Amino acid sequence: NAGVTQTPKFRVLKTGQSMTLLCAQDMNHEYMYWYRQDPGMGLRLIHYSVGEGTTAKGEVPDGYNVSRLKKQNFLLGLESAAPSQTSVYFCASSYLGLAPYSYNEQFFGPGTRLTVL
């Protein structure tokens, strides 16, 4: 099994450009997540999905959109990139989600390093 994969690994954008990051998992997980990681700030949840066709906002959703048309894929879109969106983006998946008292070991992808000029 490949686990969680992310495409692309690196990307440089100009301000105002758009792009889509693709996350795929082959573990049949219901839950998928998009995080951004910035120096000194840990991982911050952007959006997440509790199943095919569903999405929800996380801690820092502004400027991003997501879609979960297939259970194994979770797409993160930037409609108009800004320098503040320069970051490393991680996708993760888990069996169970964010409800209280649920177990949800998250499996992370290798990350996408995005630079917005």
**What is the contact surface with other proteins in residues (CB under 8 A)?**
35, 40-45, 58-59, 90, 92, 98, 100-101, 103-111
At its nearest, how many Å lie between other proteins and the CB of residue 58? 8
Before 8, cis peptide (omega within 30)? yes
At its nearest, how many Å lie between other proteins and the CB of residue 31? 11
67 and 75 Cβ atoms separated by less than 8 Å? yes
CB-nearer residue toward other proteins: 69 or 101: 101
CB-nearer residue toward other proteins: 13 or 91: 91
CB-nearer residue toward other proteins: 34 or 90: 90
Nearest residue to 58 via CA among 47, 67, 43, 42: 47
66/54 Cα distance (integer angstroms)? 10
32 and 25 Cβ atoms separated by less than 8 Å? yes
33 and 107 Cβ atoms separated by less than 8 Å? no
CB-nearer residue toward other proteins: 59 or 79: 59
At its nearest, how many Å lie between other proteins and the CB of residue 9? 12
